[in-house]
Chain A
Amino acid sequence: MTVTEQEITDYVARVRAALADLPPAQRDELTEDLADHLTEVAAEAEGTLLERLGEPETYAAELRAAAGAAPGGARNLDQRVASAMARARGRLRAMDTRLGPPLGYATASDFLRLLRPAWWVLRGYLAAMLVTVITTGGEFGLLPRFGGELLAGLIMLIGFVLGSIWIGRRSAQLTRWPRSAVQVASAVLVVFAFAALIQAEDRMRYGDYGYDQTSVDSQYDRVRDVFVYDSEGRLVENARLFDQNGNPIRLGYPDCSEDVYGKPSLRAYPYCPEQAPFVPRAPGAPLQPASPTSTPDPSGTPDPTSTPDPTSTPDPSGTPGPAGTPTPTRTR
């Protein structure tokens, strides 16, 4: 037998589609044993149903005429749509069976059905990410955030994933409107996912990952200046930094200093004391700005024992602490 069950089902579907304008009861009556008939026709001889019976639409017209039902005549839009749908469905089904074996399943849909729970989880994640984009105004990474809050985002993620699974497991019992709503929402999420993927792809290609820039080479690349404070909270001026081998540690660049062309290795920190992030505060005293009057010695005296100018740090006690004196023990 060369005719498959599928071919018969499709043929019946197209005949029924061509009779779509008849009252349902009459249509059912006309086509109720069509499948059985086709099975017998198929068993009788070789060749496809189309070869032996002609197009389903022709068959339907003949059936309609012989049964004395209202002539189809000019088919209205509904019928044409129904017939086109039936044809498309038939083709999809044929593809379904053809694609199945390469995947190791009877039909491709058997395989896809196994992936449904995975889709439910992904759908929950996508919903959480959509909320992330909406609440944070377009900014998003890989994890959901609710208005920038990661914890709230993760709770939302768990909730959405569980909800999506719940809906997925009950989709068969849903009535028409809720089911349509779920389908529309899923479609929106798929579109959103593609849009987000494209955006992420663009970011990757231009090296911008959407995070704050962090240098891969050194975390100090963004350091512009260094401010050293002693135990009393006073800014230490003309501080010099050395590593364990006595090599000067060079960080930042003196963008506020006139002496841009001096020997950078001998320059003392901070370059720009007036930009100090903290100002010393005495007990009971009001917050004081870092003294703008004092400037570091521009000559960069290569004397590691030099003490900072005591006037540079407003100290109510009047005694500059010795802690501000960097004293490297090893020099080379």
Chain B
Amino acid sequence: MDTTQLLKGVLDMAVLAVLREEDGYGYDILRRLREAGLEEVGDASVYGTLRRLFAAGLLTTYVVPSESGPHRKYYSLNAAGRDQLTRSGKLWRSFATTMDSLLDDRGMAA
């Protein structure tokens, strides 16, 4: 199992988490995810996820004119997004704890 498959389930959460601290535009979010260690995240996946989260009402957007390049569409978390992040964060922690203990029991954790 590689990271790509794991990512599928948690990309929403990862994107929401990245946006919790600071608003960002598509490419910026992608870069932050990669800097955080999710090297294998695909461009299209991030863009698609942003679209889906926006459509689900978890994100709001605004356009920022740029002097150097094209106008950028910034995404920011709204209240619903924060709630969602909190909920899935809790879910993830319990899931991760379960997985950790499962692996620990078998003596496989690093």
Chain A residues close to B by CB (< 8 Å): 29-30, 32-37, 39-41, 53, 59-69
Interface range on chain B: under 10, 10 to 19, 20 to 34, or 35 or more?
Answer: 20 to 34
Q: For the complex, give the distance between the alpha carbons of A149 and B12 in Å.
A: 79
Q: For the complex, give the distance between the alpha carbons of A68 and B56 in Å.
A: 11
A12 CB, min distance to chain B CBs, angstroms: 12
**B48 and A39 within 8 A (CB):** no
Chain B residues close to A by CB (< 8 Å): 11, 25-27, 42-49, 51-52, 55, 69-73
**A36 and B44 within 8 A (CB):** no
**A37 and B27 within 8 A (CB):** yes
Q: Please give 10 more A-B residue pairs, beta carbons under 8 A apart, in addition to A61-B44, A63-B44.
A: A30-B51, A32-B73, A33-B25, A36-B72, A37-B26, A37-B47, A53-B43, A64-B48, A66-B44, A67-B52
Provide 25 A-B residue pairs closer than 8 Å at the C-beta atoms, listed in order of the A residue.
Answer: A29-B51, A30-B47, A33-B26, A36-B26, A36-B27, A36-B70, A37-B26, A37-B43, A37-B47, A40-B69, A53-B44, A59-B43, A61-B44, A62-B42, A62-B45, A63-B45, A63-B47, A64-B48, A65-B45, A66-B11, A66-B47, A66-B48, A67-B48, A67-B51, A67-B55
Q: For the complex, give the distance between the alpha carbons of A34 and B70 in Å.
A: 11
Q: For the complex, give the distance between the alpha carbons of A34 and B42 in Å.
A: 14
User: Known contacts A66-B52, A67-B49; is A59 also within 8 Å of B44 by CB?
Assistant: yes
For A67, list chain B residues within 8 Å (CB).
47-49, 51-52, 55
Q: For the complex, give the distance between the alpha carbons of A68 and B55 in Å.
A: 10
The main secondary structure of chain A at its interface with chain B is helix
Closest 9 CB pairs of A and B: A66-B48, A62-B44, A67-B48, A63-B44, A36-B70, A66-B45, A40-B27, A67-B51, A63-B48
B87 CB, min distance to chain A CBs, angstroms: 19
For B27, list chain A residues within 8 Å (CB).
36-37, 40-41
**A41 and B48 within 8 A (CB):** no
**B70 and A30 within 8 A (CB):** no
For B69, list chain A residues within 8 Å (CB).
36, 39-40
Closest residue of B by beta carbon distance from A58: B44
B36 CB, min distance to chain A CBs, angstroms: 17
For A34, list chain B residues within 8 Å (CB).
47
For A59, list chain B residues within 8 Å (CB).
43-44
Q: For the complex, give the distance between the alpha carbons of A129 and B23 in Å.
A: 68
